[in-house]
Amino acid sequence: MSKESFDDHAEVCENGFSPSRRGFLKAAAAAGAAISLSNTLAYGAGESGYWAKDLPDEKLIDMFSTILRIRWHERTMADKMLTDPTYRGYNHFYAGQEAVATGVCAALRNSGPFDQIDLVYSTHRPTGHALAKGVDMKLMAAENDFRATGLNGGYAAEMHLSDPSVGFIGADGMIGPGPVIATGSAFAFRARGSDQVVVNFGGDGTYATPHFHSALNNAALLKLPFIYVVENNLYHQYAHYSFSVPMKDIATAAEPYGIPSVVVDGQDVMQVYSAAKVAVDRARAGEGATLIEAKTYRYYNHWGAPGAKPGELGAFGYDPLAISSFRPEREVRAWMQRDPVDICRNTLINWEVIDQAKADEIEATVKQEVLDAFAWAAEQPLCNPEDGLKNVFVDGVVEARQFG
């Protein structure tokens, strides 16, 4: 960042510690323009979505179905929270961000033996990542409602979901430490000579943690097969990201570490897939880490469904959990105009992969699958709260181990 553009931003901050969004974005745009993009990842002759055009029709349809599966899972769960007093589940909803998880996971190896599949480390907002990585929806729905037959016996729920069988190492309620653990896995792959790849998803809120920088530093020093996907949805909890990030594009943070980075439109699954494919190919080839920043937006409030109405997508207006109304309703509606479901559907129709009738048919099938998953989960036995610590501690003595 040039001194002038840094000063621009500093000036905005001086006009009261809380720069207005508009002021911040104006200064950040100037800063962004001054940033050298020499390390920006070149993907497909500069054409966004380039690599996706090579995909077989079935794979593209599969990506559309995944976006829809996430969308209807989130909507159905939000409606359950709003209307069913017996429902225990809760979630940090991922609706609006579906194209990010879908595009990234479509570029990964998601099935096969555990020593061959790629790993995903998720966040406190994990249900989209889980479904995109291949976690069974029924088992996840049961888990989120604390059912004994759920994915993790009903003891994990949303913020501790995990399914190693598909390489979904898990959700993580702590903001920050995930990427450091993820680089540990990437180091193990490198040490073993495996071509597996590790993806860490993190929000814009992770930038200001030491773990973000430690992970990038280690990934660069050790040339790890590691991809950090920053999902910049503009807010952490109820604060705009300008409160903790001094530049417009978090992707530029990779530059001092010598790691290539790219900013993608997180609402366009083809762009996300193409960037992820380039990053995965680099990592598998032993060329090291990549940082991808996906600009995106969440349609619901930070947690749960305050401000939402049953049957309607998104949450508007005042969030009683926030100190004040933290985002303008107009902003939510503007982002909903660039909806990842619509963008993917229109692309597939333009590419003559499907027509509108086929798109409707796929959506109807997905909706039914989601309803079936929630209906199945509701019939499952509940877990025993008394057994909550059963799988937390090991019985007996654990011998110290050292690998030679």
Interface positions with Mg ion (CB under 5 A): 203-204, 233, 236
* Residue whose entry in the numeric block shows the structure tokens 């409030």: 301
Looking at beta carbons only, is 189 or 201 nearer to Mg ion?
A: 201
Task: Rule CB under 6 A: choose which of 203, 225, 288, 307 binds ligand TPP.
Answer: 203
What is the SS3 assignment for 71?
A: helix
Q: Which of residues 84-113 bind ligand TPP (CB under 6 A)?
A: none
Residue 125 binds to ligand TPP (criterion: CB under 6 A):
yes
Q: Whole-number minimum distance, CB 345 to Mg ion, in Å? A: 26
- Give the largest Cα separation in the chain, rounded: 62
**Partner in contact with 194, chosen from ligand TPP, Mg ion, none, beta carbon below 5 to 8 Å by kind:** none
Single-letter code of the amino acid located at 343? I
**394 exposed, middle or buried (CB, 10 Å; 0-12, 13-18, 19+)?**
exposed
Task: Rule CB under 6 A: choose which of 24, 235, 257, 335 binds ligand TPP.
Answer: 235
Residue 236 binds to ligand TPP (criterion: CB under 6 A):
yes
Contact 362, 68 (CB under 8 A): yes
**Partner in contact with 147, chosen from Mg ion, ligand TPP, none, beta carbon below 5 to 8 Å by kind:** none
* From 15-23, 50-58, 204-212, 316-324, span contacting ligand TPP (CB under 6 A): 204-212
Residue 176 binds to ligand TPP (criterion: CB under 6 A):
yes
Contact 274, 258 (CB under 8 A): no
Looking at beta carbons only, is 19 or 167 nearer to Mg ion?
A: 19
Looking at beta carbons only, is 326 or 376 nearer to ligand TPP?
A: 326
Task: Note the residue count of the chain.
Answer: 404
Looking at beta carbons only, is 153 or 176 nearer to ligand TPP?
A: 176
Task: Rule CB under 6 A: choose which of 124, 138, 282, 327 binds ligand TPP.
Answer: 124
Q: Mind giving me the DSSP string for 170-187?
A: E--SSSSSHHHHHHHHHH
Dist. CA 103–CA 272, nearest whole Å? 5
**181 exposed, middle or buried (CB, 10 Å; 0-12, 13-18, 19+)?**
middle
Mask 206-225, x = binds ligand TPP (CB under 6 A)? x-------------------
Task: Rule CB under 6 A: choose which of 19, 89, 205, 304 binds ligand TPP.
Answer: 205
Task: Rule CB under 6 A: choose which of 2, 111, 114, 173 binds ligand TPP.
Answer: 173
Q: Whole-number minimum distance, CB 296 to Mg ion, in Å? A: 9
Q: Which of residues 267-306 bind ligand TPP (CB under 6 A)?
A: 302
Contact 228, 186 (CB under 8 A): no
Dist. CA 139–CA 122, nearest whole Å? 18
**Partner in contact with 339, chosen from Mg ion, ligand TPP, none, beta carbon below 5 to 8 Å by kind:** none
Single-letter code of the amino acid located at 14? E
Q: Which of residues 37-76 bind ligand TPP (CB under 6 A)?
A: none
Looking at beta carbons only, is 117 or 292 nearer to ligand TPP?
A: 292
**Partner in contact with 175, chosen from ligand TPP, Mg ion, none, beta carbon below 5 to 8 Å by kind:** ligand TPP
Q: Whole-number minimum distance, CB 9 to Mg ion, in Å? A: 20
Q: 208 - beta bridge partners?
A: none
Looking at beta carbons only, is 166 or 234 nearer to ligand TPP?
A: 234
Residue 255 binds to ligand TPP (criterion: CB under 6 A):
no
Q: How far is CA 321 from CA 105, 162, 194, 302, 330, in A?
A: 32, 27, 45, 9, 20
Dist. CA 210–CA 82, nearest whole Å? 37
Angle at 270 between CA 169 and CA 272, to 5 degrees: 45
* From 51-59, 230-238, 266-274, 339-347, span contacting ligand TPP (CB under 6 A): 230-238
Q: Whole-number minimum distance, CB 7 to ligand TPP, in Å? A: 27
Q: Whole-number minimum distance, CB 341 to ligand TPP, in Å? A: 19
Q: Mind giving me the DSSP string for 204-255?
A: GGGTTSHHHHHHHHHHHHTT-SEEEEEEE-SEETTEEGGGT-SSS-GGGGGG
Size of the site for ligand TPP (CB under 6 A): 15
Dihedral of the alpha carbons of 231, 39, 210, 281, in degrees to the nearest 10: 60
Single-letter code of the amino acid located at 243? F
User: Residues 6 or more apart from 5 whose CB is under 8 A from it?
Assistant: 27, 30, 31, 33, 34, 35
Residue 179 binds to ligand TPP (criterion: CB under 6 A):
no
| Residues that bind ligand TPP in the complex, under the rule CB under 6 A | 124-125, 173-176, 203-206, 233, 235-237, 302
